[in-house]
Structure 1
Amino acid sequence: MPATSGDLALIPLGGTGEIGLNLNVYRCGEDLLAVDCGIGFGGSDSPEAEVMVPDATWLAERKDQLLALVITHAHEDHLGAVAHLWPQLRCPIYASPFASAVLRRKLGEAGLLQQVRLHTVSLGGAFELGPFGLQFLRVTHSVPESQALVLRTPFGTVLHTGDWKLDPTPLLGQPTDEAAFEALGREGVLAMVCDSTNALVDGHSGSEAEVLDALTELFGELKGRIAVTCFATNVARLYAISQAAMANDRQVALFGRSLRNADAAAREAGYLKDVPPFLTEEEAGFLPDDALVIVCTGSQGEPRSALSKIAADTHPQISLGEGDTVIYSSRQIPGNERAISRVQDQLRRAGCRVVTADERPVHVSGHPARDELRKLYALVRPRFSVPVHGEWRHLEQHASLAREAGAEPILIEDGDVLRLSGNRPSVVESVPTGRLAVDGDRLLPLEGGVLAARRRMLFNGVVVASLAVDGDGRVVGEPMVSAPGLFEHLDAEPGQIASELARAVGDLPSNLRRDDDPLREAARTALRRALGRRLRKRPMVDVHLLRV
């Protein structure tokens, strides 16, 4: 490991003080290393943005210093933004075999696969990048091959846990490598940057084997079609569903592109070997109801997901109703509660029974509860604790637990530059951060003009007037006013507003009517006044001016 000048710092650009959008940067001297690059969901706070990514502008401006991006595991909130942000960063990527398989599909869909240098690192593998000596440590999580990342530097060793839990009986892969963490603790750890998601939850997170038992028992009680919704990359849950189905003489079909991609990536990485190929959406319709289990995307109420389409009875291949059951084998991501409730209400209205983890043990978290956190601190014995991956209430509770465990906690949030070298870690500066909305092939700032206009249209509506004038600015014919979402189809108000607009333009001074820009702005003002008298609100207005 080469010597270096400067300092060692952690710079979270997303995922600290919030759920999702994980993007962390480590600085050692002049070199930068990024860890994870994930998405988040808009939810009720940002209805104009369904999917968001962290704003990586600060990092992109320093891409010449960026050694690589290391991915800890294959969940969307840790790698889902790679295809969106890599064109700005253009750095090598290091990931486990399963995460690499997932990334290849995402990068291929984005047309980037041939451009990205994607390095596959074996489980528990070690590699060096500049001043960083890096090593993966095996952890259990709700996706195969989750890895904690050890960063050995001239200034000390940092453990970046990623997402993890202590599951003694995982259905796929091996348990968390507690011996490796204990050995790391004996070596000495300067700081542990650790998952805080379940820092408010007492006890233990539970085991995937318990979910298998619960699903097997529940499937045996049910008649009719069974639908299970879960996170697509929870391959252990796919395995549990398949085993529970086979134990009850049912076959399993996958509904949703992300599930099919996860299945293909898992089989490519050597998982699900003893699971028969899943049925397609088309094949599912030919099975008797009592012989079918479908697994579908949409556990968070995503409007374009398979489950949302099924609930709305708009899915082209399948329908659910009286006598059928939908099992939510997932947790609610904060902010998605309203969307999830809406889909569940639609399902119940159609006659479906809805089963959640509040009723039966059909889900366990992939994140450590408080007893698991205590055990990891006892193994690693870090000098300092940096809680990440959680909202502020999670970080505070994690900090309190870390202090009890003998580690000094340091609370930070996105944009803080936490210097880890020196006598005691401290925030020495801040860098700009933010969120970008994924809008087709574009990334739009949440506070930018486009999304601000959408928010305004969402709550106040939009009115567009089309106006034709001659060379002298006299109105030709009758203006057309369109106001979707503000008036009913047969309402008289749009016609009345059009007449008022024509009169207002006719009353303008002749010299103003000959100039397009002043005429257009005066027409907008007249349109706003006419709307204000009727609606008592301020919709977004625009005027299309045609000079004939």
Structure 2
Amino acid sequence: MNLNLYRQGEAWLAVDCGIGFSGNDTPEAEIILPDPVFIAERRDRLTGLVVTHAHEDHLGAIAHLWPQLGCPVYVTPFAAAVLRRKLGEAGLLQQVPIHVIAPGSAFTVGPFDLRFVSVTHSVPESQSLVLRTPQGIIVHTGDWKIDPDPQVGPPTDLETFAELGREGVLAMVCDSTNVRTEGPSASEADVRREMTRLIASLEGRIAVTCFASNVARVETLAMAAKAVGRRVAVVGRSLRNLEVAARECGYLSDVPHFLSEQDANSIPDSQILLIVTGSQGEPRSALSRIAADTHPNIALGEGDTVIYSSRMIPGNEQAVIQVQDSLTRRGVHVITDKDHLVHVSGHATGGDVRKLYDLVRPRFLIPVHGEWRHLTANAAIAQELNIEPVLLEDGDILDIRADGVEIGDTAPTGRLVLDGGRILPMNGGVLSARRRMLFNGMVLGSFAVDDEGYLIGDPKVSAPGLLDAEDPETQRVTEEFGNALDEIPDELRENDATFREAAKTALRRALGRKLQKRPLVDVHLLRV
């Protein structure tokens, strides 16, 4: 997820505002948001939010966090189509001022003199952002790669980057995601050729899963299907939304409108190609439900094929492999990029980065967008080319001046969790309790007392995930809990709050150390 801030004088500019998805380290959460507390406290000086492209990790949080930001949003036409749908679902469409900026255009936001530069990425209209400041030119690359034949949209505007280099660039903030891959980027055109050949060789139903926002890949699949006489159906809400947004902006004009998943069942297996959401093993995605045979409309089995036209995002390996295993168990042939050229990255390789640095020649390089090993690899390339790299941690505030750079301060950072319809702090009480329950379980004690606070009948203890009801240990804990309740001093029995706290302590003692866990403990007190 991304949330970047630039300050010029007293004015602030935000660049991108995206979501992240939980991994194995955060099983208690599903969708993660950046905590905007630092800029929310300065929202009166926040002049705008510029979105570089329409990926979830760059614009997915706007509909959730905009009430804390309250600023105008600047987007290209395709990103605007995607964002408007999200804002409409959140009931914010009439509140958020949206300014649509043509790709490659110059514009101003408050005191910020800005220009978009078109770049190739796995979503249409991806843009780098040029900031002209009194100190010098800063280039924020966003997500990009070099592909001379990207299939959808123009190639990366290397001539404009070269012009900026001749003018002189003070600093570049550059994507690092794929920098450890050597050589030039592979082209989407190569994927289109291989996908057409591969689909022509397969029988039965074919389902392809990819990132829903990859319009070039969706067009590739549609063109390959058309070449072999297959109709295309999209399965999954995000793909249906993508088709609407893409066609609104003039994309996918050369391919027929896609069938719905309900219509797909009326087409013979040998004449249908399904484009399906769920390439990362998301538990509620269409592909996960198909693999579990719980999807209401689509089924796959013996003789069918699933093609993973995507990369496996680190942290999602277990979920993806589980879905692939379930498909294989059902007799489905699973194909990945290890078997055929069915995916290329939308992020710049080390070769791409070297070429861009040769053109732009910035004085300073700030690597972003990647794990630490990616940032340091990007920094190493910069050093090879006599560019001074500056590595930042989340929250570092870097002063960029004509005479040098310096980390001048640190802003508070953190993560929020989208939990249903509410936003919670990752380290707050609710999620901390959920995390504790996930790993240590929960024990609940229930008991009734008379008006003087003395036990009526026997208490009940339940510990789902820790103890079975028939387990002798459950009986021991229940008996010791009852005995401990009898020993609570009279002065603590008069007030329900103090009685409950004493009862919790009693239950913890009854659990003892035998479980070798520290479960979340709670009690229900009924005063009769």
Q: Same fold (TM over 0.5)?
A: yes
Confirm or deny: 8 A CA contact 2:136 2:402 kept in the other structure: no
Question: Does residue 64 of the first structure (1) align with residue 44 of the second (2)?
Answer: yes
Q: Distance in 1 between matches of 2:76 and 2:163?
A: 22
Aligned to 2:268: 288
Aligned partner of residue 44 in structure 1, secondary structure: coil
Aligned to 1:240: 220
Of the three residues 242, 245, 262, the one matched with 1:265 is 245
Q: What aligned pairs does 1:215-364 form with structure 2 within 5 A after superposition?
A: 215-364=195-344
Deviation at 1:419, TM superposition (A): 0.7
Q: Distance in 2 between matches of 1:496 and 1:318?
A: 50
Residue identity matched to 1:481: V
Aligned to 2:4: 24
Aligned partner of residue 68 in structure 1, secondary structure: strand
TM-score normalised to the size of structure 2?
0.97
Aligned to 2:163: 183
Confirm or deny: 8 A CA contact 2:500 2:525 kept in the other structure: yes
Aligned to 2:491: 511
Aligned to 1:144: 124
Deviation at 1:535, TM superposition (A): 2.3
Of the three residues 525, 530, 534, the one matched with 2:510 is 530
Confirm or deny: 8 A CA contact 1:300 1:332 kept in the other structure: yes
Change (3 A) 1:488 1:295: farther
Question: Does residue 475 of the first structure (1) align with residue 455 of the second (2)?
Answer: yes
Aligned to 1:209: 189
Confirm or deny: 8 A CA contact 1:131 1:154 kept in the other structure: no
Q: Distance in 2 between matches of 1:176 and 1:504?
A: 72
Q: Which runs of 4+ in 1 moved over 6 A?
A: none
Q: Distance in 2 between matches of 1:188 and 1:511?
A: 77
Q: What aligned pairs does 1:82-93 form with structure 2 within 5 A after superposition?
A: 82-93=62-73
Residue identity matched to 2:316: N
Q: Distance in 2 between matches of 1:207 and 1:285?
A: 34
Deviation at 1:496, TM superposition (A): 4.6
Residue identity matched to 1:388: V
Confirm or deny: 8 A CA contact 2:468 2:474 kept in the other structure: no
Aligned partner of residue 374 in structure 1, secondary structure: helix
For structure 1, which segment, 76-85 or 514-523, has the greater mean C-alpha deviation from structure 2 after superposition?
Answer: 514-523
For structure 1, which segment, 478-487 or 426-435, has the greater mean C-alpha deviation from structure 2 after superposition?
Answer: 478-487
Q: Distance in 1 between matches of 2:314 and 2:365?
A: 24
Q: Distance in 1 between matches of 2:183 and 2:66?
A: 39
Question: Does residue 429 of the first structure (1) align with residue 409 of the second (2)?
Answer: yes
Aligned to 1:18: none
Residue identity matched to 1:457: M
Deviation at 1:541, TM superposition (A): 1.0
Deviation at 1:422, TM superposition (A): 4.0
Q: Deviations over 1:399-454 (max 9, x none)?
A: 11112223211111211111111411111111111111111122222222111111
Aligned to 2:151: 171
Residue identity matched to 1:469: V
Deviation at 1:146, TM superposition (A): 0.3
Unaligned runs of 5+ in 1: 1-20
Question: Does residue 38 of the first structure (1) align with residue 15 of the second (2)?
Answer: no
Q: Distance in 2 between matches of 1:318 and 1:493?
A: 46
Aligned partner of residue 36 in structure 1, secondary structure: strand
Q: Distance in 2 between matches of 1:499 and 1:487?
A: 15
Residue identity matched to 1:409: P
Deviation at 1:534, TM superposition (A): 4.8
For structure 1, which segment, 108-117 or 434-443, has the greater mean C-alpha deviation from structure 2 after superposition?
Answer: 434-443
Aligned to 1:450: 430
Counting aligned pairs with the same residue, the percent is 62
Q: Deviations over 1:271-296 (max 9, x none)?
A: 01111111111111222222221111
Deviation at 1:509, TM superposition (A): 2.9
Deviation at 1:478, TM superposition (A): 2.9
Q: Distance in 2 between matches of 1:192 and 1:134?
A: 14
Q: Distance in 2 between matches of 1:36 and 1:480?
A: 52
Aligned to 1:10: none
Aligned to 2:30: 50
Question: Does residue 97 of the first structure (1) align with residue 97 of the second (2)?
Answer: no
Q: Deviations over 1:130-188 (max 9, x none)?
A: 22111111111100000111111111111111001111111111111111111111121
Residue identity matched to 1:456: R
Deviation at 1:540, TM superposition (A): 0.6
Aligned to 1:196: 176
Confirm or deny: 8 A CA contact 2:209 2:279 kept in the other structure: yes
TM-score normalised to the size of structure 1?
0.94
Confirm or deny: 8 A CA contact 2:174 2:365 kept in the other structure: yes
Q: Distance in 1 between matches of 2:71 and 2:4?
A: 15
Residue identity matched to 1:357: D
> May I ask how many residue pairs the two structures share in their alignment?
528
Confirm or deny: 8 A CA contact 1:298 1:308 kept in the other structure: yes
RCO higher in 1 or 2 (8 Å CA, sep ≥ 6)? 1
Q: Distance in 2 between matches of 1:494 and 1:320?
A: 45
Aligned partner of residue 420 in structure 1, secondary structure: strand
Change (3 A) 1:307 1:63: same
Deviation at 1:492, TM superposition (A): 5.1
Residue identity matched to 1:529: R
Deviation at 1:533, TM superposition (A): 5.2
Confirm or deny: 8 A CA contact 1:38 1:78 kept in the other structure: yes
Q: Distance in 2 between matches of 1:353 and 1:451?
A: 39
Of the three residues 96, 105, 115, the one matched with 1:135 is 115
Aligned to 1:159: 139
Change (3 A) 1:512 1:410: closer
